[in-house]
């Protein structure tokens, strides 16, 4: 499995760096997910999600080690792991705004599309 995809999977389930959770390695983190009930449920969810794909997805050919695809949906942590800025032992703090990755000649733009009045002030309720 691609190392970055494995890190993406780690953060999908655990949301924290591995050493903070007591995992000695990425392999140990993923092995903890090796449970028959979890696998069965994930296969059901994946089948549903695959049927919801509306657009053909393409690899980011300009970024050879990046597992992300154009027209796919990702969480912020998946994107950061896909670009390699979040690793098994380091979780890049990032929120909205611009994240520049000079060594990859990339800029990531994060916006909040769904805002509500409880979480955002009137000055930040503009439409991204």
Whole-Å CA distances, 59 to 19, 30, 31, 47, 68: 31, 24, 27, 21, 7
**pLDDT at site 53:** 84
**pLDDT at site 124:** 67
pTM here is 0.74
pLDDT-derived band at 1, boundaries 50, 70, 90 = low
Query: Tens of pLDDT along 45-87?
Result: 999 988 888 888 888 877 778 899 988 888 899 999 999 999 9
Domain residue limits, the chain:
3-93
């Amino acid at each position: 499995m691609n190392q970055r995809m494995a890190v993406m999977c780690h953060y999908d389930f655990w949301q924290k760096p591995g050493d903070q959770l007591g995992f000695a390695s990425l392999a140990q983190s993923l092995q903890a997910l090796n449970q028959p009930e979890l696998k069965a449920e994930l296969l059901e969810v994946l089948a549903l999600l695959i049927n919801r794909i509306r657009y053909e997805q393409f690899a980011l050919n300009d970024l050879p080690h990046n597992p992300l695809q154009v027209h796919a949906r990702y969480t912020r942590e998946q994107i950061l792991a896909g670009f390699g800025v979040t690793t098994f032992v380091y979780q890049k703090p990032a929120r909205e705004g611009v994240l520049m990755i000079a060594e990859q000649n990339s800029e990531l733009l994060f916006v909040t599309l769904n805002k509500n009045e409880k979480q955002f002030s009137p000055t930040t309720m503009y439409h991204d």
